[in-house]
Amino acid sequence: MAEIVYPPVIKAAKGLFKALNLKFRLEGTENIPATGGAVLVSNHVSYLDFIFAGLGAYPAGRLVRFMAKKEIFDNRIAGPLMRGMHHIPVDRQAGAASYKAALNALKSGEVIGVFAEATISRSFTVKDIKSGAVRMAVAANVPLVPMAIWGPQRLWTKGRPRRLFQRGVPITILVGEPMHPKRGDDYDQVTKELRQRISDLLEKAQREYPDIPAADEKWWQPAYLDGAAPTPEEAEALDAAEAEERAARRAAREAREQG
């Protein structure tokens, strides 16, 4: 397919990274297959993760097609860019079409990027993940590649103001060894192993991160490292409350439309 949008977007992003003096640590990029399909599965700590997950595949010469919620594609600015880079919209009310599109892309040799937690983790630990990424890799007969990202939450994450132009922030991107699930495997067990691999990579990134937050900046550090981020249990409660509010707004909107 023609790549008119993706290369200049990458060039612009790298120029911005340089201007902001972002300090990158990339490890394991050799684990991204140089050719053929693959499912790249990353943790999710910020609204910018697709940029940095894509950067992790760039040394292998691969362009990642991310699965992202359709609301992003509906945005008048982000939408044309997302479509131009051939990312895949996901309608949570009708996921079959996006799954089919991703499967076709994998079979044609593309790398598909998945944030299997579905939403940003407020605790900055890996939430429970579903088996969709594993099933997709098996159906397309391609490897699963775990990835962990750490640092972008300091720029823009859920519940915090945007600080997109903060200078000198370290960004860690760690890529794990590929997994090769096959038909007949216990998909739930493979998913548990995938989650553990991502968690191990993330913990390594967090423990080896070069910056230590100041007293008033501990919000971006996980609780298990004496940070002020919510614990996984607290984060789950916050997510549940947010889901209830979203459902209430949707019901109110539908009632108005019907009235």
Statement: residue 145 has pLDDT above 80: yes
- Cα–Cα distance measured from residue 10 to residue 7, given in angstroms and rounded to the nearest whole number: 5
pLDDT tens sequence across 73-103: 999 989 999 999 999 999 877 778 999 999 9
Statement: residue 186 has pLDDT above 90: yes
Decide: 56 and 29 in contact? Cβ < 8 Å. yes
Mean pLDDT over all residues of the chain?
95
256, burial (CB in 10 Å: exposed 0-12, middle 13-18, buried 19+) = exposed
Cα 57 → chain centroid? 13
**Structure-model confidence comparison of residues 254 and 169, the more confident one:** 169
- What pLDDT, on the 0 to 100 scale, is given for residue 166? 96
Statement: residue 239 has pLDDT above 90: yes
Assign domain 6-216 to its CATH architecture. Answer: 3-Layer(aba) Sandwich (3.40)
- What pLDDT, on the 0 to 100 scale, is given for residue 91? 85
Q: Enter the tokens of residue 192.
A: 């548990």
Q: Give the DSSP H/E element, type plus range, for residue 9.
A: helix 6-19
Decide: 73 and 79 in contact? Cβ < 8 Å. yes
Statement: residue 255 has pLDDT above 90: no
What is the pTM for the complete model shown? 0.95
Decide: 150 and 210 in contact? Cβ < 8 Å. no
61-89 burial code (b ≥16 CB/10 A, e <16): ebbbbbbbebebbeeeeeeeebeebbbbb
**pLDDT, mean of residues 11-25:** 96
Decide: 190 and 146 in contact? Cβ < 8 Å. no
Q: Enter the tokens of residue 220.
A: 């971006």
- What pLDDT, on the 0 to 100 scale, is given for residue 2? 76
- What pLDDT, on the 0 to 100 scale, is given for residue 258? 87
**pLDDT, mean of residues 207-214:** 98
Statement: residue 257 has pLDDT above 90: no
- What pLDDT, on the 0 to 100 scale, is given for residue 65? 98
